[in-house]
Amino acid sequence: MGHFESNLRNKKGVNFYVQGWEPPKRPKAVIALIHGFGEHTGRYEHVGEAFNKAGYILIGFDLRGHGKSEGVRGHASSYDALMEDITDFKTLVEVRYPNLPYFLYGHSMGGNLVLNYCLRCKPDVVGAIVTGPWLRLASAPPSLQVRLAKTINNIFPDFAQNSNLETAALSHDQNVVEAYDHDPLVHAQISVRLFVSIYESGLWALDHAEELSIPLLLMHGTADRITSFAASAEFAKASGKVTTWRPWDGFYHEIHNEPEKVDVIQAMIEWLDTHLKRK
Which pLDDT does position 12 carry in this prediction? 87
Longest dimension (CA), the chain: 55
CATH number at residue 48: 3.40.50.1820
Query: What are the DSSP calls for 170-236, one per residue?
Result: S-S-HHHHHHHHT-TT---EEEHHHHHHHHHHHHHHHHTGGG--S-EEEEEETT-SSB-HHHHHHHH
Which pLDDT does position 188 carry in this prediction? 96
How far apart CA 130 and CA 144 sit, in angstroms, is 30
Which pLDDT does position 277 carry in this prediction? 81
Q: How far is CA 248 from the centre of its chain?
A: 18
Listed in sequence order, the residues at least 6 apart from 116 whose beta carbon sits closer than 8 Å to its beta carbon are 79, 83, 201, 204, 205
Q: How far is CA 88 from the centre of its chain?
A: 16
Please, which residues bridge with residue 58 across strands? 21, 31
Which pLDDT does position 279 carry in this prediction? 65
- Note down the domain range covering 192: 2-278
How many CB atoms are located within 10 Å of the residue 216 CB?
A: 24
**Residues in the chain, pLDDT under 50:** none
Which pLDDT does position 174 carry in this prediction? 98
Query: What are the DSSP calls for 16-61, one per residue?
Result: EEEEEEE-SSPPSEEEEEE--TT--GGGGHHHHHHHHHTTEEEEEE
Strands 127-131 and 160-162, bridge-based pairing: unpaired
How far apart CA 106 and CA 41 sit, in angstroms, is 11
Which pLDDT does position 238 carry in this prediction? 98
How far apart CA 199 and CA 255 sit, in angstroms, is 22
How far apart CA 245 and CA 262 sit, in angstroms, is 18
Which pLDDT does position 1 carry in this prediction? 62
Measure CA of the first residue to CA of the last residue in the chain; give whole Å. 26
Which pLDDT does position 11 carry in this prediction? 86
Strands 216-221 and 189-191, bridge-based pairing: unpaired
Please, which residues bridge with residue 162 across strands? 189
Element (H, E) at 267: helix 261-278
Helix 192-207 and helix 143-155, axial crossing angle in degrees, nearest 10: 120
Number of structural domains (the chain) is: 1
Total-model pTM: 0.97
